Amino acid sequence: MSKSMNDYVSKSMHNISSRLVYADILRIVAIFAIVIIHLSTGALYGGTPGSMAWNISLLFDSLFNWGTLVFIMLSGLFMLRPEKISSLKHFYLGRLKRILIPFIIWAVIYELIRIGFSSEGYTFYSIVDIGKRLIEGQVQVHLWFIYMLIAMYLITPVLSRFANSATKNELIFYYAVWAIGLVVLPILKRYFSLGNGVTPYLDLNSYAGFYMLGYVLQKYELKIKKTWFILLPVLIALKFIMVYMTSMDAEHTVHFYRNRLSFNIIPIPILVFMLFKQINWSKIFPRKSYQYRLMVKYSALSYGIFLCHWLVLDTFKKGYLGFTITPYSVLGVELPIYFAFPIFILSIMIVIVVFVQLINRIPILNKLLL
């Protein structure tokens, strides 16, 4: 392999003719939806329901909280292909280099920063404790996603065999059971106080259902009528209203209706996925166009964007560089929140893109960190 083909971006650009256009575009939109959620929803965890900051946080949360589940669907779309796991050794070594190594490095970076800015400082025990925290999943909060993804990869050979050999009726049965566990049982618990001993053990299957769904929707070329997409703004508005009303009554944020696996949220990522899948993107962005090549590049950089974005966020919010930019102030100057919020989000996202671009230009770091 030539030197220019050693990094993931170069490999992606080389295979541009065989890529799914909608998947590249959706991956970019999904990763920035995730970043926006992390940038904008802090007030939901400590703010006062009904306040301007809380309302704006809830608005952004309602608009963009589908990103994580779409990202899971996109992962399954590619990982469950039979050719991906024709060799278990090749599959798991590939995941080790692509996912696990950058994750471990970034987890350690976040831990070193945490220790450096803590009162304990760097000691033998604090450094040794990094390994324990890494194993236990106590590292930077957004990295929970990678632990879940690792679990998905461990069972990918089984899921792939099922997704590729199951009949349509078997798949329908699986998703009927999946929907009962994900929708019906929580509703019974929430509204009728009817608990059960099964629900606590369905979390992995909940994510596995989304992981497999992206592949199933592509394999069977499933489509829905355009009128179904009217549900998207309806469900987003409904989510805002339900969280707002229950939180105002409780005088604190009620997270039930904003949980990514809540029954009112589940249809949103599926509709978003289907919407992007059914748009004829090749007409809008021909494969040989500069615009599409740019999208392939950022699609390939999406994992790196996910891993590093919290570092950029903390750098500005906590003033690691000697100045701060927050959703409420810029360089220490208090601004109206409706003005400071978009400046904060735009500034952070620009810096993230530039930061990832810089890393990608360094031959060794682009393989280790992206």
- Say what the pLDDT of residue 118 is: 84
Task: Kindly state the average pLDDT of the residues 15-31.
Answer: 92
Give the torsion through C-alpha atoms of 221, 225, 229, 231, to 10 deg: -120
Q: Check pLDDT > 90 for residue 272.
A: yes
Q: Where do the DSSP E strands lie in the chain?
A: 329-330, 333-334
**pLDDT value of residue 56:** 94
Q: In sequence order, what DSSP letters do the residues of 120-131 get, joined into one string?
A: S-S-HHHHHHHH
pTM (two decimals)? 0.93
Task: Give the C-alpha separation, 313 to 34, whole Å.
Answer: 13
Residue 1, pLDDT score = 35
pLDDT of residue 240: 98
Q: Please write the tens of the pLDDT for every residue from 317-339.
A: 988 888 888 888 888 888 888 88
pLDDT above 70 covers a percentage of the chain that reads 98
Contacts 24+ apart (CB under 8 A), 267-271: 267/231, 267/235, 268/65, 268/66, 268/232, 268/235, 268/236, 268/239, 269/66, 269/67, 269/69, 269/70, 269/73, 269/210, 270/73, 270/213, 271/228, 271/229, 271/231, 271/232, 271/235
Provide mean pLDDT across the span 167-179. 94
Average pLDDT of the chain, as a whole number: 92
Predicted pLDDT of residue 131: 94
Q: What is the pLDDT of residue 5?
A: 47
β-bridge pairing 329-330 and 333-334: antiparallel
- Lowest-confidence segment of 161-165, 201-205, 228-232, 255-259 by average pLDDT: 201-205
Mean pLDDT of 259-282: 96
- pLDDT tens-digit profile of 71-85? 999 999 999 999 998
- Structure-token pair, residue 166: 């199951």
Provide the token pair at 162. 């099922």
Q: What is the mean pLDDT of residues 107-130?
A: 91
